Amino acid sequence: MKKSTLYCLSVLTQLVVASEQSPIVQQQPHISPPKNSQFRELVWGDLNFLHTTDTHGWYAGHLNQRQYSGDWGDFISFTAKLRELNDVKGSDLLVVDTGDKHDGNGLSDITEPNGAVSTSIFNSLEYDLVTLGNHELYTEENSVQEYEVSVKRFGDRYVSSNVEFKLDNGTFVPFGSKYRIFKTANRGYRVLALSFLFDFTRFNSRTRVTPLSKVLKQSWFNELLARTPETDIDYIVVFGHIPVTDVEEHELLSLHIHLRRLYPNTPVQYLGGHSHIRDFAVFDRLATGLQSGRYCETVGWISINQTETGVQFNRRFVDFNRESFKHHTGLDDKEFDTPEGLQMTSHIAKMRRHLNLTHSYGYVDRSYMSNRYPYGHPLNVYTLLNSTILPTLQGANEVQSSTSNRLIIVNSGSIRYDLYKGNFTRDQEYIVSPFKNNWNVITLPKDLALAIPPFLNNGRFILQLSTPEKASILLQREKSQQFNSMAGEHDNLRCPDIHKKGLKYGLTTRDDYGCDGDDVVHNSIPYYPAPNIVDSYEEKDPLNDQVDLVFYDFIQPYILEAINHLDRTNRYSERDIHYYGGKSTGVLLRDYFTD
């Protein structure tokens, strides 16, 4: 057994023992759920799905946001109570997750290896279908842990149709099952389940990702479809870490066209992830796609009813808090909690104390938001980074750091969340900036160096540097504007921003079914897209026409591409890049806010 697996099991043992010694509590301390929300109900169908994605370790809930304050114990109770309701109704319920469980919270990222505590917490839920995301593939230790612990935990319910894992003997094997064919518990529906990761190329040496476009041509895939005719299948479920509204590659659309040739009359339900948004997409009259946000802010719900007039789909995006969970189960505090849910809530509280995540370094006197204010506004977190945090970076060569003209560039996607007013805790450091990238440097002519930030902030391909949701939200805005334009005078078809007295601020979703997908009616929060990169320039020697360009090693390929695009005379390569050193952005933030 590998060291990482032993460590995970050791921590899990500590977790169980700790829970036996801890008082039972409901959700995490110092936070209460919202009250008196205006709800839209769940619509049950013959086949129903409960969906999570991009949890990124947020299993303690959002301690600064009431509308997302539910923890994983609350979700365990919610799932159990919905399963009871489902059995009473005689319908079927499938609980599905579509990956990305690392990089975003102290609970997942503070341990060595990353995920040693949070993996067992996630795995405590009885999922029917599970897969991985790209954040399970960046490092070997995360992939080994996922394969040895999570795949073993879920067995054939862990599905990945286009990702493979390399064993110690060098043999590549499927990362779980390539597919799953099963019958639902109550109605006996015959389901073919497939799972795909988007065309991800930065996987580690212990893994391999085959683009979906190539899988469509592989013999195993077409042989599977050939021996599983439409007469043998009631539903197809395609779930995976891939956007249901695919901005650039249209991977799911290509798959859908392929499937429809063989299954023209079979309902298909897609469940996606990666772009961190609430989304619902219509593929055709028998197929839709659901995507359920990020960071334990959202639980997605989709129901399918087959009637004499056709197939009906109903979606809902449930706010991740006890008020929403209790409302949709029709239960009060005494009836809602299960022993397993309460135990997990205590687990999480105990482990947060054990990992010292509640330790406060200092105080943040105002909230700095990622998208609520435009870049350049004093309350924008990227403005804080540009003007205040990045200039404090000291490289390994202090003389170089203090005397050279310097341009620092980070991708905005390295900032994972807002920085809220209040104590700057150990957890907060990982919530805002969890990555431990190394700083590299290349010395360039000043004119060339200063041309790089505007180049990187231009062009769609560079969206990979930005926050995951940026491209999808911008596309949704374009679709909404087109829809509103076509709607003309029919105001009931529009999706305007909501600003009503008595409503709380929260997510307001616009999707292919309109404006009523959220389970709680919220006032709209303004959205200003983040830049692709954030830069900070210091000119310490005006007579020097050279600039040290400092950047994270993670974005090195984009930096070299930009340099060589802008300078067609010289050819720059990795040989021109050197180690710069210095503290990570998260540590720089911690140092700044330390009393």
Task: Give me the average pLDDT of each 10-residue run along the chain (595 residues).
Answer: 43 42 54 84 98 98 94 98 98 98 96 95 98 97 98 98 98 98 98 97 97 98 98 98 88 97 98 96 97 98 95 98 97 96 97 96 97 97 97 84 88 94 96 92 97 86 57 62 53 75 92 95 93 95 95 94 95 96 96 93
Task: Return the number of other C-beta atoms located less than 10 Å from residue 281's C-beta.
Answer: 20
Q: Is residue 516 part of a domain?
A: no
pLDDT of residue 461: 43
Of 301, 327, 354, which one is at a domain's C-terminal end? 354
Alpha-carbon span 413 to 417, nearest angstrom:
9
Identify which of 160, 228, 154, 241 has the alpha carbon closest to the alpha carbon of residue 192.
228
Strand partners, 311: 306
Backbone dihedral angles phi then psi of residue 207, each to the nearest 5 degrees: -135, 170
Which residue range forms the structural domain that includes residue 201?
3-36+43-354
Same domain, 230 and 334: yes
Backbone dihedral angles phi then psi of residue 443, each to the nearest 5 degrees: -95, 130
Q: What is the DSSP letter of 350?
A: H
Same domain, 283 and 431: no
Same domain, 433 and 375: yes
Alpha-carbon span 450 to 408, nearest angstrom:
11
* H-only helix segments in 139-270: 140-145, 152-154, 212-215, 219-226, 251-262
Task: Return the number of other C-beta atoms located less than 10 Å from residue 363's C-beta.
Answer: 12
What three-state secondary structure class fits 95? strand
pLDDT of residue 25: 53
Q: Are 91 and 48 in contact (CB under 8 A)?
A: yes
Report the CATH number at residue 203: 3.60.21.10
Q: Is residue 504 part of a domain?
A: no
Q: Is residue 518 part of a domain?
A: no
Q: What is the DSSP letter of 56?
A: T
Same domain, 85 and 134: yes
Same domain, 163 and 205: yes
Q: Are 416 and 56 in contact (CB under 8 A)?
A: yes
Same domain, 162 and 245: yes
Q: Is residue 523 part of a domain?
A: no
pLDDT of residue 484: 56
pLDDT of residue 489: 46
Q: How many domains does the chain have?
A: 2
Q: What is the DSSP letter of 413?
A: G
Q: Are 194 and 181 in contact (CB under 8 A)?
A: no
Taking phi over 0 as left and psi of -120 to 50 as alpha, with beta for the rest, 417 belongs to beta
Of 291, 321, 354, which one is at a domain's C-terminal end? 354
Alpha-carbon span 348 to 75, nearest angstrom:
13
Please, is 448 exposed, middle or buried when counting C-beta atoms within 10 Å of its C-beta (0-12, 13-18, 19+)? middle
Same domain, 7 and 28: yes
Same domain, 101 and 226: yes
Q: Is residue 505 part of a domain?
A: no
Backbone dihedral angles phi then psi of residue 259, each to the nearest 5 degrees: -70, -40
pLDDT of residue 111: 95
Q: Are 300 and 293 in contact (CB under 8 A)?
A: yes
Q: Are 193 and 129 in contact (CB under 8 A)?
A: yes
Token pair listed for 367: 């909230």
Q: Are 216 and 252 in contact (CB under 8 A)?
A: no
Alpha-carbon span 322 to 328, nearest angstrom:
10
Q: Is residue 408 part of a domain?
A: yes
Q: Are 559 and 442 in contact (CB under 8 A)?
A: yes
Q: Is residue 510 part of a domain?
A: no
Strand partners, 49: 94, 302
pLDDT of residue 487: 52
Same domain, 88 and 140: yes
Same domain, 92 and 153: yes
Same domain, 391 and 445: yes
- Alpha carbon 355 to chain centroid distance? 23
Q: Is residue 498 part of a domain?
A: no
Of 297, 325, 354, which one is at a domain's C-terminal end? 354
Same domain, 237 and 330: yes
Alpha-carbon span 77 to 339, nearest angstrom:
8
Whether residue 529 has a cis bond before it, omega within 30° of 0: no
Token pair listed for 301: 């719900």
- What is the gyration radius of the CA atoms in the chain, in angstroms? 24
Alpha-carbon span 592 to 497, nearest angstrom:
36
Report the CATH number at residue 394: 3.90.780.10
pLDDT of residue 458: 85
